[in-house]
Amino acid sequence: MIIKRESIAVSFKQLKLTTILQHVLLILMGVIAIFPLYWMIISSFKNEAEIFTASFFPKDPTFTNYIYAFSEIPIAKMMLNSFIVAILLTVFQLGTSILSAYALVRWKFKGSFFIYSIISLSWLIPIQVIMIPNYVLINQMGLNEKLLGIIIPLSVSTFAILALYQGFKAFPTALIEAAILEGESDFGLLTKIILPNLRSTIASLGVLLFISGWNEYLWPMLITTNMENAPIQIGLRSFVNSDTNLWGSLMAATTISSLPILIIYFILRRHIIDSFVKFGMK
Amino acid sequence: MSKIIETKINPTLSNNIESVKKKRKKVNVKPYVYLLPAVILLGIWMYRPLLTTFQLAFYQWSLVPGTTPVPVGWENFLRLFANKDFGISIYNTIFYTIGLLPFSIVIPILLAVATHNMKGRMKNVYRALFFIPLILAPVSVGAIWRWLFHPSNGLVNITLLDLGIIDQNIAFFSDPIFAKWLILFITGWKMIGFSTIMFSSALTGINRDYYEAVSLDGASRFQTFKDITLPLLSPMIMFMITMSILFSSQWTFAYIDILTSGGPFGTSTNIYYEMYKHGFTNLDVGLSSAAAILFFIVFSLITLGLNQMTKKFAFNDN
Amino acid sequence: MSRFKSMISLVMFIAILLFISACNMMPSEESTSNSAAEEETDQQELGTLDPENPTSVTFYSYSLSYPTMKPGMEKLISDFNSTVGKEKGVIVEGVPDPSFQQNKADIAAGKQVDIVQHVFSSLDASRLTLGFKAYEDVFPQDELEEHFVGISENALELGKIDGKMYGLAFTFSTPIVFINGDLFEQAGLDPNDPPTTWEEIKEYSLQIKNTTGKDGFGLPPANGWTTDGILFSNGANILSEDRSEAVFATKETFEALSVWKDIYQNGGHAIGTRTDMTEQFMAGELGMYITSTALHSGFINASKAGGWELYGVGLPQFGDQPSVPVNSGSVLAVRPDTPEKNAAVWEFIKYVTGDEGYTTITSEIGYLPLRTGLADDPAYLKDFVDANPLYRINLEQLERIRPATIWPGNHATESTTIFTDAIVKSITTDADVEETMTEAENAINHLLQ
């Protein structure tokens, strides 16, 4: 590799300036990305006198906001609701998408394109367009106020199906052929060969689905009206629109509600980001 | 969509299996069985309500059991067009859609390129940071930003006053101009991480040989970017443009609901919010459904258009 | 090419579905016990209640979702449950109703919604769509008459629509100007000599702003109902007598709004939403604030915490025309569906609109006692009113109140939105007041046809 001397000199100079600019941009964006989170956390510890100031660190940190938050809305119960909804949604969505993606990839059958199209197109249907009839149906089924009423209509995640479809398609055929020659059934093929090898993809997908289920907001708001039955996001929402100076407690409640996600993110961020990266590479 | 995703043709399971199973002629029920749960659920919870909504647009109804929908022909559509907030909501929908593009395309590309050549450690730190807005719940995000922009006690007002940039507090979310720009900014803020990661990964997929060949010819960084990086990124760019256009209304909805309720006097609402408002606040199901149909038709056309454009413009490295 | 064919068949499939979808997709007539008003059998009888098997009724209350009002309302409910309720066999379950949406949603869902704390402006719409019943139709006439003795006449009229009572006045207040005594004194003003006209309001507000730097006056443009009072005070009307058309785009309205707009743009007026201004006042950062006395208890606590004194004065007048305050508050709208429910509901209504009820509502929350006699009765509210002279202002204004606008029928929410938006636009922006309000009036009348 012959490298011209001049171009090295020029590139180095360019490199320095652009690198510095790059880093400035990145740091700026990084700060913008994380500042609101920081502000939320420190605000939650500020006492009544300090909360209306712009201090960057609470001078007199207090837990009263948290105590008050717990008394204002049934936080514990709502966190539990959120957990149940998020976990069940993850399970159902993973289940349906594994089965569907497998079917679409494994066999060539009549109508496969048709079904694939129906599935992909459903991604484009926004919840606002279908919310009213679904709301009516849930009430007719008597599932309003119940967590199942939140969960069942959301049990299929088109995104998950499409993601797994890609994942399955890229699976090495050698392993498949070997298994078939050994007389493995279709279901066994799925459970014993494919799934174990795609464990990390599925795990990452699962985490994403969990986060998305935890953050669900419009649909649970329509279905549950009683605080006791609602996920934590709904509790926060009514807190936001309430009449008085409860900003400290609101920030405390928001912090609490974000904790599980932040913890999961912190531990598993590599996996989460990697799964996005893989999706992007298609 | 499927066309964008399948840019590479891999030897699939099915091809090889086919050769093994060439002798079998009977219809295989299995795929249908596997697909049954998903298809049934989609049918009940996505397609059935879609069709019901289409129907409901031609009726007047208030969602109360015991009352039946009253057929009113095209009246809902006429009333929709006469509604003063409708025009604004269309304009805002376009505003948000186009306005979000810098946040979902331009800035993320720059960020992705900037982090691309870094050593692993730094790259991961930045990636982790940019991703955080994405995992926070919309409600939490709404609450925090509302607090930051509070008219008398928010950090933004305090800082602006201290710096002497303004001499009076600004009630951002009650201001006809600021309200929608803020919604745009907050939505953009949330989505930057997502796009950056996607572009990052697309960059990783670009063959290094191209860069080496070009550097031999002494191309500047900018030229490299223009002639190599961008074209090779084009499938991802088209994909992100599609996603952004299709979903920006969805993404902004939460913030409109929490922060401005479409106000002040309807200046920050978008078509989704109008649907929601008519359906559940005004209990006017017909109007809501009429809005839904209009939106659906328009966006279907846009999707088709985007699909065509993608085929034309996306340059695939084959 | 086969892809293309599949595409076509997909499109055709959807098109066919669209046309066939005429069958059985629509919500059909529900045979719930909550079916619409046509079931008007003479249900005036009260069923028998049994303490051993208490009847449970639901009470949807928005006060339960406001932090300042919640404790008082909860006390009211639990007081009932532990006294009359226990004795007669009624259990009342309070359901918070933020933004008055909950009861609508639950009724739409077919749930048990028996009593609703309902605001005035949308009462008519609800009567039509949500199945609320007239008191005359579900409770015996003699009981009604006996119970109403002692309640202010004006108050009783407010919940009547077309001659029948669809809501019994429950919580009630008039708007007053709350004053931060501290800021007044700092600005060299005497809180015991408050402004009484709009000119004085502007004067005082500017003085506060100029000397202390804090905003002097606040009245949120989107305030729900106080605006009606501002317009009435200048002689304007909002709806015609028969409520069939909007008539607010008149000279009197433009004048009134211009005065307000002037203060907003040039008079040290606070900015933001009602929530923002309420917070600002409670934080001690606002000199004068017009809002309902329902917030009194919250403000008293805030002033104590902040170390300033709370004062007040009635709604300002235009020149020498006495002001015409509009009441805010709520009525109790009912929709019981069985004779037993009738009885249970009636017990609760009697309690909360009786002497004990109103005493709690006034002293614990801040609303007016509708049984005005209570204010002078030492056994009930005399001490409280003496300790909180702001109440006298309220009681005095009661003589001049006019009902808040009850927008007609099906388009009440939309009409309210158009009206409020026009007010906000007129006051907070450069828009021309006359143009904006006339446009709004036309839009509403278009709807009302």
Max Cα-Cα span within chain A: 78
Q: Are residues C295 and C431 in the same domain?
A: yes
At B155 the three-state DSSP class reads helix
Q: Are residues C438 and C318 in the same domain?
A: yes
Q: How confident is the model at residue C15 (pLDDT cuts 50, 70, 90)?
A: low
- Side chain identity at A184, as an amino acid letter? E
Phi, psi dihedral angles at C332 (to 5 degrees): -100, 115
Domain B84-313: CATH architecture, name and number where available: Orthogonal Bundle (1.10)
Find the mean pLDDT for residues C275-280: 87
* pLDDT at res. B315: 64
Q: What is the CATH number of the domain that holds C162?
A: 3.40.190.10
Phi, psi dihedral angles at C164 (to 5 degrees): -110, 150
Strand partners, C177: C290, C313
Show the 3-state SS of A213-279.
HHHCCHHHHHHCCCHHHCCHHHHHHHHHCCCCCCHHHHHHHHHHHHHHHHHHHHHHHHHHHHHHHHH
C92: tokens are: 């009342």
Strand partners, C312: C178
Chain B residues within 8 A of A173 when measuring between CB atoms: 11-13, 15-16
How high does pLDDT run on average in chain C? 84
Window 6-45 of A: residues touching B by CB (8 A cutoff) are 6-7, 11, 14, 18, 22, 25-26, 29-30, 32-34, 36-37, 39-40, 43
Cβ distance of B288 and A132 shorter than 8 Å: yes
At A185 the three-state DSSP class reads coil
Percent of chain C at pLDDT exceeding 90:
38
Q: Which residues of chain B have pLDDT under 70?
A: 1-26, 64-66, 314-318
Q: Are residues C267 and C414 in the same domain?
A: yes
Residues of B near C (CB-CB distance < 8 A)? 47-48, 51-52, 54-56, 59, 61-69, 82-84, 150-153, 168-171, 173-174, 176, 263-266, 280-284
B127: tokens are: 């990636």
Cβ distance of C6 and A243 shorter than 8 Å: no
Asked if C324 and C253 touch (Cβ cutoff 8 Å), the reply is no
Chain A residues within 8 A of B190 when measuring between CB atoms: none
Supply the Cα-derived Rg of chain A in whole angstroms. Answer: 25
The residue among A211, A210, A205 whose CA lies nearest residue A278 is: A205
Asked if C133 and C334 touch (Cβ cutoff 8 Å), the reply is yes
Tell me which residue in A33, A96, A166 faces B129 most closely, judged by beta carbons.
Answer: A33
Cβ distance of A245 and C110 shorter than 8 Å: no
Q: How confident is the model at residue C25 (pLDDT cuts 50, 70, 90)?
A: very low
Please, what's the b/e burial string for B235-264 (b: 16 or more CB within 10 A of its CB; e: otherwise)?
A: bbbbbbbbbbbbbbbbbbbbbbbbbbbbbb
Chain C residues within 8 A of A226 when measuring between CB atoms: 95
The residue among B153, B57, A150, B168 whose CA lies nearest residue C280 is: B153
* pLDDT at res. B82: 83
- How far apart CA A226 and CA C317 sit, in angstroms, is 43
Asked if A207 and A83 touch (Cβ cutoff 8 Å), the reply is no
The residue among B2, B290, B193 whose CA lies nearest residue A123 is: B2
Q: Are residues C91 and C167 in the same domain?
A: yes
Subunits next to C (3 or more Cβ pairs <8 Å) are A, B
The residue among B246, B244, B247 whose CA lies nearest residue B101 is: B244
Asked if A273 and A207 touch (Cβ cutoff 8 Å), the reply is no
Cβ distance of A243 and C110 shorter than 8 Å: no
Chain A residues within 8 A of B135 when measuring between CB atoms: 211, 215, 261-262, 265, 272
* pLDDT at res. A243: 58
Distance from CA of C120 to the nearest CA of A (A): 20
Range picked from A130-139, A148-157, A234-243, C358-367 for highest mean pLDDT = A148-157
The residue among A141, A150, A131 whose CA lies nearest residue A226 is: A150
pLDDT over threshold 70, residue C10:
no
Q: Are residues C252 and C375 in the same domain?
A: no
A280 touches chain B (CB under 8 A): yes
Query: For residue B188, what are the contacts with CB-CB under 8 A and spacing of at least 6?
Result: B99, B100, B102, B103, B104
Residue to test with chain C: of B80, B156, B283, most C Cβ within 10 A: B283
| C14 in a structural domain | no
Q: Are residues C66 and C148 in the same domain?
A: yes
- How far apart CA B77 and CA C291 sit, in angstroms, is 39
Q: Are residues C373 and C421 in the same domain?
A: no
Chain A residues within 8 A of B48 when measuring between CB atoms: 133
| C32 in a structural domain | no
* pLDDT at res. A151: 93
pTM, rounded to two decimals:
0.81
Q: Are residues C96 and C194 in the same domain?
A: no
Q: Are residues C73 and C153 in the same domain?
A: yes
Q: Are residues C298 and C348 in the same domain?
A: no
The DSSP 8-state label assigned to residue C96 in this structure reads E
- How far apart CA B104 and CA B120 sit, in angstroms, is 24
Q: Are residues C266 and C315 in the same domain?
A: yes
Q: How many residues would you count in chain C?
A: 449
Cβ distance of A133 and B145 shorter than 8 Å: no
Chain C residues within 8 A of B282 when measuring between CB atoms: 413-414
* pLDDT at res. C53: 87
Distance from CA of A228 to the nearest CA of C (A): 11
At A51 the three-state DSSP class reads coil
C-beta neighbour count of C2 within 10 angstroms = 7
Tell me which residue in A118, A126, A134 faces B45 most closely, judged by beta carbons.
Answer: A134
* pLDDT at res. C32: 37
Q: How confident is the model at residue C100 (pLDDT cuts 50, 70, 90)?
A: confident
Query: For residue C79, what are the contacts with CB-CB under 8 A and spacing of at least 6?
Result: C356, C360
C143 touches chain A (CB under 8 A): no
The residue among C259, C154, C144 whose CA lies nearest residue C200 is: C259
Cβ distance of A241 and C98 shorter than 8 Å: yes
The residue among C112, C167, C109 whose CA lies nearest residue C334 is: C167
The residue among C139, C146, C267, C134 whose CA lies nearest residue C198 is: C267
pLDDT over threshold 80, residue A272:
no
Asked if C369 and C392 touch (Cβ cutoff 8 Å), the reply is no
- Side chain identity at B196, as an amino acid letter? T
Find the mean pLDDT for residues A137-157: 88
pLDDT over threshold 90, residue C19:
no
pLDDT over threshold 60, residue C38:
no
C51 touches chain B (CB under 8 A): no
Cβ distance of B201 and A277 shorter than 8 Å: yes
At A4 the three-state DSSP class reads coil
Window 50-89 of B: residues touching A by CB (8 A cutoff) are 50, 52-53, 56, 63, 65
* pLDDT at res. B8: 41
CA distances from A187 to A106, A165, A183 (A): 11, 17, 12
Distance from CA of A31 to the nearest CA of C (A): 28
Interface predicted TM-score (ipTM):
0.82
Phi, psi dihedral angles at C395 (to 5 degrees): -65, -35
Cβ distance of A245 and C3 shorter than 8 Å: no
Identify which has the larger pLDDT, C423 or A145: C423
C270: tokens are: 């606070």
Q: Which domain holds residue C427?
A: 175-326+409-448
- How far apart CA A156 and CA C291 sit, in angstroms, is 49
A96 touches chain B (CB under 8 A): yes
Tell me which residue in B32, B126, B215 faces A30 most closely, judged by beta carbons.
Answer: B126
pLDDT over threshold 90, residue C288:
yes
Q: Are residues C195 and C233 in the same domain?
A: yes
Asked if A277 and B204 touch (Cβ cutoff 8 Å), the reply is yes
Identify which has the larger pLDDT, B2 or C296: C296
Could you tell me the sign of the dihedral formed by the alpha carbons of C161, C162, C168, C174, in that order?
A: positive
Distance from CA of A46 to the nearest CA of B (A): 13
- How far apart CA B192 and CA B181 sit, in angstroms, is 16
Supply the Cα-derived Rg of chain C in whole angstroms. Answer: 25
C305 touches chain B (CB under 8 A): no
Chain C residues within 8 A of B83 when measuring between CB atoms: 414
Asked if B7 and B316 touch (Cβ cutoff 8 Å), the reply is yes
CA distances from A93 to A88, A119, A143, C118, C142 (A): 8, 13, 19, 42, 61
DSSP-derived pairing of the beta strands C55-61 and C90-96: parallel
The residue among A120, A80, A98 whose CA lies nearest residue A209 is: A98
Find the mean pLDDT for residues C22-28: 45
The DSSP 8-state label assigned to residue C323 in this structure reads P
| C10 in a structural domain | no
Q: Calculate the CA B184 to chain-centre distance.
A: 12
Find the mean pLDDT for residues C306-329: 90
Q: How many domains does chain C have?
A: 2
Identify which has the larger pLDDT, A275 or C277: C277
* pLDDT at res. B169: 83
* pLDDT at res. C44: 66
Chain A residues within 8 A of B47 when measuring between CB atoms: 118, 122
pLDDT over threshold 90, residue C334:
yes
Could you tell me the sign of the dihedral formed by the alpha carbons of B50, B52, B57, B61, in that order?
A: negative
CA angle C215, C218, C219 (to 5 degrees): 165
pLDDT over threshold 60, residue C7:
no
Identify which has the larger pLDDT, C344 or C129: C344
Asked if C154 and C135 touch (Cβ cutoff 8 Å), the reply is no
For every residue of B53-94, DSSP letters joined together read HHHHTTEE--S-TT---EE-TTHHHHHHHHSHHHHHHHHHHH
Cβ distance of A118 and C282 shorter than 8 Å: no
**How confident is the model over A31-65, as pLDDT tens digits?**
999 999 999 999 999 887 777 777 888 888 889 88
Q: Where are the domains of chain B?
A: 84-313
* pLDDT at res. C169: 86
A258 touches chain B (CB under 8 A): yes
**How confident is the model over C188-213, as pLDDT tens digits?**
999 999 999 999 999 999 999 999 98
Please, what's the b/e burial string for A84-115 (b: 16 or more CB within 10 A of its CB; e: otherwise)?
A: bbbbbbbbbbbebbbbbbbbbbbbebeebbeb
Kindly compute the dihedral angle of the four CA atoms of residues A160, A165, A166, A170, in this order, to the nearest 10 degrees: 140
Chain B residues within 8 A of C15 when measuring between CB atoms: none
Domains, chain A, with CATH or none: 5-64 (no CATH), 73-280 (1.10.3720.10)
Q: How confident is the model at residue C346 (pLDDT cuts 50, 70, 90)?
A: very high
Lowest mean pLDDT across A186-190, C229-233, C443-447: A186-190
B277: tokens are: 């408002």
Cβ distance of B38 and A2 shorter than 8 Å: no
* pLDDT at res. C22: 40
At C107 the three-state DSSP class reads helix
Cβ distance of C21 and B68 shorter than 8 Å: no
Lowest mean pLDDT across B131-135, C155-159, C268-272: C155-159
Strand partners, C93: C58
**Cis omega (within 30 of 0) for bond into C195:** no
pLDDT over threshold 70, residue C404:
yes
Tell me the CA end-to-end span of chain C in Å, nearest whole number: 55
Percent of chain A at pLDDT exceeding 70:
90
* pLDDT at res. A15: 63
- Side chain identity at B88, as an amino acid letter? I
Cβ distance of C99 and A244 shorter than 8 Å: no
